[in-house]
Amino acid sequence: MILLGILAASGAGISVGVAGYFAGGLSSTVVNKFAFPSDTRTTLGTGLSAGEQGVSGFSNSGNAGYVASVGNSTTVNKFAYPSDTRTTLGTGTSYVPFYASTMSNSRVAGYVVSGFDSATSTQVATVNKFAFPSDTRTTLGTGVSAARDGLAGFSDSGVAGYAAGGRAGASNVNTVDKFAFPGDSRTTLGTGLTSAVRYPGGMGNSGVAGYIGGGQTTAGVDRFALPSDTKSTLGTGLSASRASLSGMANSGVAGYFGGGFSGGSVSTVDKFEFPSETRTTLGTGLSTARYGLAGFANEGL
């Protein structure tokens, strides 16, 4: 089966995205849903099973979305599409992935990447992989190039997933690791982020480009052209500098950066139109201001 979302990204002119989600953050269990392409916001009747900041999300488009580190634990909540019914995976993560990153290879697997293991109070290089549709968990033999937390990621579904930035030890890094699908072999890009940054957000326009935006003290957005991984920086970044934000995208149509911390929690959702990358700010943002939230999207089948 061919993913129509990938066709849209490759220029077929088909918009099939269904909705994007921003979940949790702070002690919130709230999951906001933004319908594509109208960006109309609703709030799911059933949110996360527990609240905490530092959650992360990935998606099996057309099937389900996932949120990891629920309640700062190994718990992974699963939201079935299109009903948004929530269940909890029988097998969660192998560690507590606080401020981890994620990647999605829709119809194949989702990944929880690195972060701060709250159970051991250490940064880890671990990458957990959840095979679709069984949700069986394994751990990659090769993790990220350096254990770190506060990183962000994006995916080129069917091709590769990326993990960028964060803090390794006591220092922020600009490293971008790339995991080739489906073998999961890891390389590190020769050109990393413009700045060493912790707590950015990430989103991807599959087949076209991936974006890493914001982080501590910056509003900048770096763009990595796919598949060359050539980096540029958008002329227009976020509407304000903010950290601990999250991203999600409707490939071929638009990408979104939501929430974060900028002198306090924010409810802002910035939208970048594809392919122009023109930025607007949604009139209706998150239902509550929060940071350390998760983003994921149902781009359809």
Look up the CATH number of the domain holding residue 11: 2.120.10.80
Q: Which residue, 213, 249, 250, is CA-closest to 233? A: 213
* Distance between CA atoms of residues 204 and 200, nearest Å: 14
SS3 218: coil
Q: What is the pLDDT of residue 300?
A: 85
Q: What is the pLDDT of residue 73?
A: 98
* Residue that is written with structure tokens 């709230």 in the block: 30
Which stretches of the chain score pLDDT less than 70? 1-15, 301
**Structural domain total, the chain:** 1
* Residue that is written with structure tokens 């002198």 in the block: 263
- Structure tokens of 201? 């957000």
* Distance between CA atoms of residues 290 and 163, nearest Å: 23
SS3 216: coil
Is pTM beyond 0.85? Reply is: yes
State the maximum Cα–Cα separation within the chain, in Å, rounded to a whole number: 48
Domain coverage including residue 108:
4-298
Q: Which residue, 20, 1, 14, is CA-closest to 256? A: 20
Q: What is the CA radius of gyration of the chain?
A: 17
Q: What is the pLDDT of residue 271?
A: 98
Q: What is the pLDDT of residue 14?
A: 47
Q: Which residue, 20, 90, 88, 102, is CA-closest to 50? A: 88
- Structure tokens of 228? 């060359």
Q: Which residue, 135, 129, 90, 137, is CA-closest to 113? A: 129
* Start-to-end CA span in the chain (Å): 8
* Distance between CA atoms of residues 47 and 7, nearest Å: 32
